A = this chain, B = another copy of it.
Amino acid sequence: MARRRSEMLTDVELEFMIALWEIGTGSVRDIMGALHEDQQRAYTSVATVMKILDDKGFVSSDRKDRALVYSPAVQKRDYEGRSLKNLSKTLFGGTPTALVARLVDNEDLTDEMIQEIKEIIDTRIRKDDG
């Protein structure tokens, strides 16, 4: 611990966290193997970023044999929520409503997607009632 300058992950840090979230727990070598990218990275580069993530509090580490095994200290769903809150705050005046309005504004969205979104909302409303 100590860094924690930003609450948000950088692009590369996010890539690494996504890999770790997928495998749940893993060594540097495991994480290196789980990365989705085309770009090759040296083993030591991966190790360095994992240490930074540890410093920032996004992961925790345990020593198994001689290797460090990393686990997420922040769950993906939490970070997703944090990201949405951040985006909502910085760009949509803190109102999630405006965010959704812009989202469904997008021409790329198919009717099916809109329907799915509608169902998500309706489900949430029904859950509140019940």
Give the interface SS of chain A, mostly helix, strand, loop or mixed: helix
Report how far A11 CA is from B97 CA in the complex, Å: 22
Q: Report how many copies the assembly holds.
A: 2
Q: Within 8 Å CB of A90, what residues of B?
A: 11, 14
Q: Are A91 and B14 in contact (CB under 8 A)?
A: yes
Q: Does A42 contact B (CB under 8 A)?
A: no
**How many residues in A have their beta carbons less than 8 Å from beta carbons of B?**
39
Q: Which residues of A contact B (CB under 8 A)?
A: 11, 14, 18, 77, 79-81, 83-85, 87, 90-92, 95-97, 99-106, 109, 111, 113-118, 120-122, 124-125, 128
List 15 A–B pairs whose Cβ atoms lie within 8 Å, in order of A's numbering. A14-B90, A83-B87, A83-B91, A84-B99, A87-B87, A96-B109, A97-B116, A97-B117, A100-B120, A101-B120, A104-B121, A104-B124, A114-B128, A117-B121, A118-B121
